[in-house]
Each structure stands twice: as structure tokens, then as C-alpha cells.
Amino acid sequence: MDAAASMAAAPQPYVLQETLTSHNRAVSAVKFSPDGCLLASASGDKTLRVWSTADFSLLTELSGHEEGISDLSFSSDGRYLCSASDDLTVRIWDLAAATAVKTLSGHSNYVFCCAYNPQSNMIASGSFDETVRVWEVKSGKCLRVLPAHSEPVTAVDFNYNGSLIVSSSYDGLCRIWDSATGHCMKTLIDDDSPPVSFVKFSPNGKFVLAATLDNTLRLWHFSAGKFLKTYTGHANSRFCIPATFSVTNGKYIVSGSEDNCVYLWDLQTRKIVQKLEGHMDGVIAVSCHPSENMIASGALGNDKTVKVWVQRTEEQMED
């Protein structure tokens, strides 16, 4: 009966719900906790802030890093956060105590990205020193140093069961590693190799979403070694902008862009379904809520805010 309901292709648009202004410098990363109750943001102002997703009040501010922070990752139980910083360390924060409990040192250049594995007993970190390090959470010991790339490592991610790690780099390669042994399993490379600025596994671990600095996102079927989908239309040639899968209400690819918008593409048709406008500077951080139709985005220095976008239902929309 509803016109909107019968049009299965057109989703409800996302609208801006909250703008969180708290950081003093560019926001570099935003992530929802695995249970969806918390939203954390990392910034060049050397702090991390944790917000409640219920009322978007600021719950904690975590300081301790000596330089700006580039990435953050929640543990699976949402009790711990790890953050990667230009001060060459990865720190693990206890959210209940609001302090850092461990500092993982070993990288010899800026640590750019970090990720917890699903079992949350290991953390992988990628750095400008061209290596990926795997750390044991409990003792903080570095378990492995993977000779991953020949340029700064821009992203690391574990697959859904923690058995594989994918890493991307400015050298144009994505490499897939066996996390138990540290052996390289596969290298994904295209004919021309633009710097890969971001990489992430799909929820079932079969595909890898890679962003390259030629304004393109590609979905690779990594065991076959070829890509299946391309997403374009946004601007991405300077910064490492994460992209993610939105699967709570239809399947979409969500990414930030240097033209100050958040882009949403339909996964299968590759068409842009929405551009979220509102930020005053390039959007270099996005994250999707695990169960609700909510997207969080963070922007560069002229903006410094975290914006939360939701999909309103029919009743909430005012026509």
C-alpha cells in the first residue's frame, strides 16, 4: 500500500541526528562497539572520546598518547579499546577504569592502523615502518613482525574467525596473512597499482573491500584474486578514508569522501543511493552500527565533529 514500501530499491534516506563537537583537531577514526552501546572517536588532539549511543552523552575521555591518534578498535566484549598513534605506540585502554592499561611499543614509525581479532587475544597493527605487528593482548608481547609491504601500511583487518589478517599499503598491494603462523597467503594487485588506502574483510570473510587513491573502491574475491565490483563517484585521492559494509537494512557500501560527504552505494548495483551532506571538511572516518541503521562519521580539521546519521522510519519522517 505504501509507495515507499513497494519500492524495494529505494531505502529510507539517512538524516542527521546528532553532531558531537568535542575534539580540538581533526577526527581520524570513529567506531561503534560490538554491542552497539558505545561510540568511540579518535583525533589528532591526542585523545579518544567515548560516547553513549543511547543519548550521545560523553562518557569518557582517554588521554595518554603523546601524539595524534590515527585509528582505534574495540575488543569483542567492548571493555577495551586499542588505539594507534603517531607516538609509535599502540595503547590498550580499559573503558571502565578510563585509563590505559598497556602500551605496546616496537614500531619504529607512526602506527597508522590497529585491529583486535574476534577472540580479542591478539591485536594487529600497521605502521609507517612498513611492517604489521601482531601483539598478544594479555602480556603485551609482540608475537610476530610481518614483513608486509614496501610502503606505509594503511590498514589491517582480521576476518570473522580471526584466522586471516589483511593489510594494505601505499605500495599498491593488499596482502593476506595467516594469523596463526604469519605466512603470506595471497597478494592482491591490479594492473596499475594505485596506493591502497584502506582494506577490510566482508562479514563472511570471502571478500575484501579495498579503497584506492584513484577515487575507487573495489570488492575483491580474494581467493580468486580478482575484483568483482567497483564503486566510484566519490573523491578519494589524498587521505586514507575507511569504507564499511552496512547490512542492517539492505546491503550497502558506506564510505567517507574528500568532498565533505558520506557516500552510500548499493552493494549489488553499485549505484550511489545517497550522499550525506553536512560536514564542513573531508570525511575521513565512518562506521556502521552493528544492529541499528545508524552511521557515524568524522571529519578533518575545519570541521572536527562526529556526526551521527540515522534512518528514520515512515512515522518519524515529517513530510
Partner 1 sequence: MNAPIIEVNLIFWVVLGVWMGEDPLQGDFPEVIEEFLQHGNMKCIAFNRRGTLLAAGCANGSCVIWDFETRGVAKELRDKACVAPITSVCWSKYGHYLLASATDKSLTLWNVVNGEKITHITLQQTTLHARLHPGSCTPSLCLACPLSSAPILVDLNNGTSTVLPVSVTDNTNGNAVSHPRNKFSDSSLPFTPTAATFDKHGDLIYLGNSKGEILIVDPKNVRVNALIPIPGGSVVKDIVFSRNGQYLLTNSNDRVIRVYESLLPTKGAAKELEIMSDTDDKFPRIEKLKEVGTKCLRLSREFQDAVTKIQWKAPCFSGDGEWVIGASASKGEHKLYIWDRAGHLVKILEGPKEALIDLAWHPLRPLVVSVSVAGLVYIWAKDYTENWSAFAPDFKELEENEEYVEREDEFDLMPESEKVKELVINQDEEVDILTVEKDSAFSDSDASQEELCFLPAVPFPDPEQQDKCLGSSLKLGDSNHTGSPFSVEAAQNGQAILPASSPLEVVGNSTPEEAVGTAGMKRKRKPSAKGMELQAEKGRKPQTKNKSSGKTSKPRSRSGDGIDTNGSVLEDDVTDEYL
- Window 38-77: residues binding partner 1 (CB under 8 A): 38, 47, 52, 57-64, 66-67, 77
Q: For the CB of residue 280, give the shortest distance to partner 1 in the complex, in Å.
A: 25
Q: How far is the CB of 15 from partner 1 (least distance, A)?
A: 26
Measured CA to CA, the distance from residue 231 to residue 255 in angstroms comes to 10
Number of residues that bind partner 1 (CB under 8 A): 85
DSSP 289: -
Contact residue for partner 1 among 1, 3, 8, 181 (CB under 8 A):
181
Taking Cα atoms as reference points, which of 272, 285, 212 lies closest to residue 242?
285
> Residue 244's closest CA among 115, 126, 124?
115
**Nearest-angstrom CA–CA distance, 134 and 115:** 10
* Cα distance between residue 133 and residue 115, in whole Å: 11
Residue 117 sits at the vertex; the CA angle it makes with 113 and 121, to the nearest 5 degrees, is 115
| 19 vs 223, beta carbon nearer partner 1 | 223
Q: 173 vs 276, which CB is nearer to partner 1?
A: 173
Q: What angle do CA 191, 149, 112 make, to 5 degrees?
A: 115
Query: Can you tell me the distance from the alpha carbon of 287 to that of 174, in angstroms, rounded to the nearest whole number?
Result: 21
Q: Minimum distance from CB of 65 to partner 1 (Å)?
A: 9
- Tell me which of 29, 39, 88, 243 binds partner 1, using CB under 8 A: 88
Instruction: Name which of residues 102 to 131 contact partner 1 (CB under 8 A).
Output: 102-108, 119-122
Q: Which of 3, 5, 6, 139 binds partner 1 (CB under 8 A)?
A: 139
Q: Does 160 bind partner 1 (CB under 8 A)?
A: yes
How many C-alpha atoms does 238 have within 13 Å on its Cβ side? 8
Is residue 136 close enough to count as binding partner 1 by CB under 8 A? Answer: yes
Mark the segment that binds partner 1 (CB under 8 A) among 12-20, 135-143, 287-295, 307-315.
135-143
